[in-house]
Structure formats: C-alpha cells, structure tokens
C-alpha cells in the first residue's frame, strides 16, 4: 500500500475539472498548448486546492531532484554560518533545496560525504574544500569556492586583494614591522592572504610570518604565541589571517598589558560574529558571501540546465574573484612612534 500523500495531485485536479492530467501539467508549467482561458481556470483551482507538486514524481520523471549539495569538509569553520546562510538563500531563490554534508576533517571522509550527496541524487554541489584537497570529479556538476589561485576554483573572495588592503591600511598608519599570524601553511586561502599582505607593503617595510599550528605541534594546543616578545622586537602591527587568530592575538597582548591600538595594532580577516563586539572592536576585511554564493549557485544552476547528461564537470563562472572590503574599527591605529625597544632599526 503506497502511502498516499495528503495533498491533491495532478489527477485530482484533472478529474475535478474534467480535463486530462497532461493538460493540467501543461497549464501549470506553461509548456504545451493550452488555451489562456483554461490555463486560468486550472491555475485558480490548483491554488484553491493548495496543490504542491510532488518532488519525488517530478524527480523520477525528469531525473532532476531540485536539490544542491553543500560540502563543508571543515564544518567547524566559524565562517560556516555565513556560508550556509548565503548558499541556502541563493539556492532557495533559484528554486533549489540544500542538502548538507559534513566530513569531519579528513579527506577520505570528504569523498565519502560527496558520495552520500550523489547517492541522494543532488543535481550539483557546492564544495568549500578543506585546505589543498582536490575534488575528484563527482557524478554531477561541482562548484568550488576556495580562492582564485586554486586550480578549478569557480568563484571566491579575492583573498590576495584583501591582504593588499590590510597592508595598505597598516602602511598608511605608519607601521613598518608587521607580524603575519596564520594557522596553517597548507591553506590556499591563508597563503593568498599572506601573499597579498606582503605584496601590499611599501618599501622599507618588513614582515615575518608565524604559523600557529607549527607552534602548537611543539608546545601543545592553545599555547601562548609569545607576542609580547615580538612587540619587544619591534613589531607594531599584528595581521592575523583570520579573525579567530586575531582574537587570540588580541587577548594575549591585552593580557600582557599591551594596549591596543595605542601600543600595537591588530587586524583580522572575515568579520566574524564577535569582531564588532570585542574591545577594541576588530579592524578586519569582509568577504561578500552573498555575492559569492549568488555567483556560485547561478553558475552551478546554469551548468545543470545546459548539461543534459549527469556528468562530473567543474563549473566556471564569469566572475571568479569578488573584492573584499576593509572594515576599519578600533583595533588599528597609528604606529607607536616610540617602540619599547628597537632591535629592528637596523633591518
């Protein structure tokens, strides 16, 4: 006994109006040849009955599920809420649902998550890849959101340019010695951000990069970063490659009695939820996730519509990099003209 859905279906509407199901289908989809008058009557009656097309029936017939997959291999990423929200919004506007798949960390699990989505019959998927993993083409179109320098990337924030903005901002405030604080050297995103910062530095400026995960491998997770020492060495600006690391730097410096922004400046990336409300509020650079998601989803949907067969394609979009926007808040200020010591003056 097939469980009958509660709502009306095409044939109920059809018999109720004395026409055939095909006509009803055509009228509602606007595809076949139906007189305007009848279209009107059918539409009205369908609305009256609260007709909702069965996704299952449609999917079975058309081979399209109307669902996109969203793969977030690093779901603990604090950017996740924004990403998921933006993707869901864009997909929903295009008439698609969003099925999520998380692969807790490792790469094998990422592949497995992708397979789960394919088995559920998604028409395409958006993947935010973990670090430098390659997407072995799945059995459906795939849009990748990573960073423009990654091969196969569909669309992403211009992390490099974001770094450039940060560097320009700090240079303009008179900072000469910048400590870049990143988490993971394998990350394409973080590398681009760091590269952008370095490329934006003016002559006479100097930078050094601190990778946290390397430090933690030696000293244990959550270890101090030794930033007070860096201040003594003459660094006046700490440019973190994510707001999470910026926050870590900010609190460590504050705890050491170093005032921000009068003694040193701290900047981040991403404009995460806490950035506006910490004291001092965080100068950072924001990506236009709505725009990125919009581009990714519409490129994906276009590909789905045109590629008649269900094949594994890497989707490309016309715009593949979206500018990041500098948000100046209180954590950055003029470089302190009298650094506590000046070990670097001769560099």
Partner DNA sequence: TCACTCTGATTAATCGTTTAATCAAAGTGA
Partner DNA sequence: TCACTTTGATTAAACGATTAATCAGAGTGA
Q: Which stretch binds its own copies (CB under 8 A): 41-49, 128-136, 187-195, 240-248?
A: 240-248
Tell me what percent of the chain is helix, strand and coil, each rounded to the nearest 5: 40, 15, 45
Considering only residues 192 to 211 of the shown chain, the ones binding its own copies according to CB under 8 A are none
**Angle subtended by helix axes 10-17 and 21-29, to nearest 10:** 110
For residues 250 and 244, give the distance between their C-alpha atoms in angstroms, rounded to a whole number.
10
The site partner of 263 among its own copies, DNA, none (C-beta below 5 to 8 Å per kind) is none
Total residues contacting its own copies (rule CB under 8 A)?
70
Considering only residues 82 to 101 of the shown chain, the ones binding its own copies according to CB under 8 A are 82, 84-85, 88-89, 92, 97-101
Q: Which is nearer to DNA, 56 or 319 (CB)?
A: 56
Q: Which is nearer to its own copies, 204 or 222 (CB)?
A: 222
Q: Which of 11, 29, 57, 343 binds its own copies (CB under 8 A)?
A: 57
Q: Minimum distance from CB of 141 to DNA (Å)?
A: 19
The site partner of 21 among DNA, its own copies, none (C-beta below 5 to 8 Å per kind) is DNA
Helix segments in 179-242, DSSP class H: 188-199, 212-219, 227-232
- Half-sphere exposure in the Cβ direction for 297 (13 Å, CA): 27
Q: Which parts of this chain interact with DNA (CB under 7 A)?
A: 1-2, 4-5, 9-11, 18-23, 25-26, 28-29, 31-35, 37-38, 51, 53-54, 56-58, 60-63
24 binds its own copies (CB under 8 A): no
Q: Which is nearer to DNA, 15 or 219 (CB)?
A: 15
Distance between start and end Cα atoms, the chain: 82
Q: Which one, of 101, 37, 39, lies nearest residue 71 by Cα?
A: 101
Instruction: Assign 102 to helix, strand or coil.
Output: strand
Judge residue 260's burial from the number of C-beta atoms within 10 Å of its C-beta, 0-12 exposed, 13-18 middle, 19 or more buried.
buried
Report the C-alpha dihedral over residues 169, 172, 178, 184, rounded to 10 degrees. 20
With a CB cutoff of 8 Å and minimum separation 6, the contacts of 319 are 155, 295
The site partner of 205 among its own copies, DNA, none (C-beta below 5 to 8 Å per kind) is none
320 binds its own copies (CB under 8 A): no
302 binds its own copies (CB under 8 A): no
Q: Minimum distance from CB of 101 to its own copies (Å)?
A: 7
* Residue ranges of E strands in the chain: 67-72, 97-102, 124-127, 142-144, 156-157, 177-182, 206-211, 237-240, 265-267, 284-286, 321-322, 325-327
Q: Give the footprint of its own copies on this chain (CB under 8 A).
A: 2-6, 52, 54-57, 59-67, 70, 75-78, 80-82, 84-85, 88-89, 92, 97-102, 104, 116-121, 139, 221-222, 224, 244, 247-248, 250-252, 254-255, 259-260, 273-274, 276-281, 308-310
């Amino acid at each position: 006994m097939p469980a009958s859905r509660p709502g009306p279906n095409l044939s109920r509407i059809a018999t109720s109006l004395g026409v055939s199901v095909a006509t009803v289908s055509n009228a509602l989809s606007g595809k076949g040849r139906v007189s305007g008058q009848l279209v009107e009557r059918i539409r009205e009656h369908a609305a009256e009955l609260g007709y909702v097309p069965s996704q299952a029936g449609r999917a079975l017939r058309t081979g399209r599920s109307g669902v996109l997959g969203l793969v977030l291999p690093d779901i603990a990423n604090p950017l996740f809420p924004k990403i998921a929200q933006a993707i869901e919004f864009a997909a929903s506007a295009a008439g698609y649902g969003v099925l999520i798949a998380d692969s807790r960390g490792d790469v094998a699990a990422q592949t497995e998550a992708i397979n789960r989505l394919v088995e559920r019959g998604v028409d395409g998927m958006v993947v935010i890849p973990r670090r430098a993993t390659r997407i072995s083409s799945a059995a459906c179109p795939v849009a990748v959101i990573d960073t423009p320098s990654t091969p196969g990337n569909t669309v992403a924030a211009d992390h490099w340019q974001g770094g450039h903005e940060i560097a320009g901002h700090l240079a303009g405030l008179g900072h000469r010695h910048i400590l870049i604080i990143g988490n993971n050297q394998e990350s394409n995103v973080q590398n681009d951000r760091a590269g952008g910062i370095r490329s934006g530095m003016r002559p006479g400026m100097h930078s050094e990069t601190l990778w946290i995960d390397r430090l933690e491998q030696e000293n244990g997770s959550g270890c101090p970063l030794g930033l007070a020492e860096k201040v003594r060495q003459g660094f006046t600006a700490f440019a973190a490659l994510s707001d999470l690391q910026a926050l870590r730097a900010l609190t460590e410096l504050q705890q050491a009695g170093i005032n921000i922004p009068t003694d040193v400046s701290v900047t981040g990336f991403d404009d995460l939820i806490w950035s506006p409300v910490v004291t001092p509020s965080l100068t950072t650079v924001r990506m236009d996730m709505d725009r990125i998601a919009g581009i990714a989803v519409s490129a994906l949907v276009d590909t789905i519509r045109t590629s008649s067969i269900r094949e594994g394609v890497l989707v490309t979009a016309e715009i593949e990099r979206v500018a990041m926007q500098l948000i100046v808040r209180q954590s950055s200020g003029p470089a302190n003209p009298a650094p506590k010591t000046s070990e670097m003056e001769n560099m």
